[in-house]
Structure 1
Amino acid sequence: MKIESLKFPIGKFEKPQEITQSHVNIWIKDVENFPDRLFHEVQDLSEGQLDTPYRPEGWTIRQVVHHVADSHMNSFIRIKLALTENNPVIKPYLEEKWAELPDSKNYPLQTSLNIIKALHERWSYLLKQLTEEDLNKTFIHPESNKEFTIKEMVGFYAWHSNHHLAHISTLKKSKNW
């Protein structure tokens, strides 16, 4: 398998030209259902399997799960900032460095699985309450100096969930686990 398909097993995120309420509803369902799908993929893996990288020079399954908790907490905060402030500049973080910290490399998964479950429950509840006006609120990401709408972020994080889930399921399939 080529490295690019290992990095992006479901392809890169492609934002629709026009984001409709139908898109948003599908994405919210993806966000809502992700924790159960993730748990299903990792529940029977051994410690050795959890410490297997999904691709050469890639993160281990353990790091992927902890990364998802970190990343999605950041996204939830960014959305809440956009809902409560006028086009705020958000704080980026160095995900590659976070993934190398001891709690990402060595810590058991259960705490991050619990975080993801609770966070996605609360996140999907919030997203379901948003009006069209809310979904069009924005924040600025300082690394690109680009403005993002909340509805774009819902789509991106639905993709992000499925992207990392595919890292795990693709590895499991390739190893016959």
Structure 2
Amino acid sequence: MSDLHDLKYPIGDFVYGQTYTAEDTKKHIILIDELPVKLTELVEKWADDRLDTPYRPEGWTVRQLVHHVADSHINAYVRTKLALTETNPTISPYEEGEWAKLPDSTLDIAPSLVILKNMHLRWVTVLATLTEAELSRTYFHPGSQRIFELREVIAMYAWHSEHHFQHAYRLAKRNGWA
């Protein structure tokens, strides 16, 4: 693997189409639950020079990354609720790279950390109570032309949580900030 690929995917690529047990799903929900505290503890006291450092060449800054995680997980939470209340709804994709260029991506990270804390509380409350039948509920993603089952969505966002945490954490380690 190249150094750039390792910087871009510090925990490897997410593998779609896997089978997840109930125990796997419990572990994935725990990872989602832990992200807001882990990320906040890592970056909340960083000054602007650190927050405005890209985690890899041609990558987002840590500031953009924190705002992206909030944006992404808000979308995941809404998609989860849609899958639970509608029959295989078609979700709305979004251009995450374009969102990362919008003016709110330059704000202090505190609002996004608060969003993550509170929205994850709500999201995990829903996820932790899902039955096997509910974990099998789906939504259709028109961008990837795939149907996603909620148990895979949970696995994907557990991966996404750790993926972006590791971007910031490994940057901190490389720069002697951690």
Place the TM-score, normalised by the shorter chain, in its bin: over 0.9
What's the CA shift string for 1:64-115, capped at 9, x where partnerless?
00000000000000111110110011000000000001101x1001100000
**Which residue identity is paired with 1:147?**
I
TM-score normalized by structure 2?
Answer: 0.96
Kindly state the Cα deviation for residue 43 of structure 1 after the two structures are TM-superposed.
2.1
TM-score normalized by structure 1?
Answer: 0.97
Tell me which residue corresponds to 2:122.
122
**Which residue identity is paired with 2:120?**
H
Tell me which residue corresponds to 2:10.
9
**Separation in 1, partners of 2:13, 2:83:** 24
User: Which ranges in structure 2 are unaligned for 5 or more consecutive residues?
Assistant: none
**Separation in 2, partners of 1:17, 1:76:** 21
Kindly state the Cα deviation for residue 157 of structure 1 after the two structures are TM-superposed.
0.3
Q: Is the 8 A contact 1:28 1:127 kept in 2?
A: yes
User: Is 1:175 matched with 2:162?
Assistant: no
**Separation in 1, partners of 2:18, 2:73:** 24
**Which residue identity is paired with 1:134?**
E
**Separation in 1, partners of 2:79, 2:45:** 33
Kindly state the Cα deviation for residue 16 of structure 1 after the two structures are TM-superposed.
6.9
* Aligned-CA RMSD value: 1.1
Greater Cα shift, 16-25 or 138-147: 16-25
Give aligned-pair identity as a percent.
47
Kindly state the Cα deviation for residue 138 of structure 1 after the two structures are TM-superposed.
0.3
What's the CA shift string for 1:107-130, capped at 9, x where partnerless?
001100000000111111100111
Greater Cα shift, 164-173 or 11-20: 11-20
**Separation in 2, partners of 1:25, 1:16:** 18
**Which residue identity is paired with 2:137?**
K
Tell me which residue corresponds to 1:84.
85
Tell me which residue corresponds to 1:21.
22
User: Is 1:166 matched with 2:166?
Assistant: yes
Secondary structure of the structure 2 residue equivalent to 1:172: helix
How many pairs were matched up?
A: 176
**Separation in 2, partners of 1:32, 1:125:** 9
- Provide runs of 4+ in structure 1 moved above 6 Å: none
**Which residue identity is paired with 1:123?**
W
**Which residue identity is paired with 1:8?**
Y
Tell me which residue corresponds to 2:143.
143
**Which residue identity is paired with 1:75?**
A
Q: Is the 8 A contact 1:15 1:155 kept in 2?
A: no
Secondary structure of the structure 2 residue equivalent to 1:123: helix
What's the CA shift string for 1:25-80, capped at 9, x where partnerless?
00000111110000111022111100000001100000000000000000000111
Q: Using a 3 Å threshold, how does the CA distance of structure 1 residues 88 and 16 change in structure 2: closer, same or farther?
A: closer
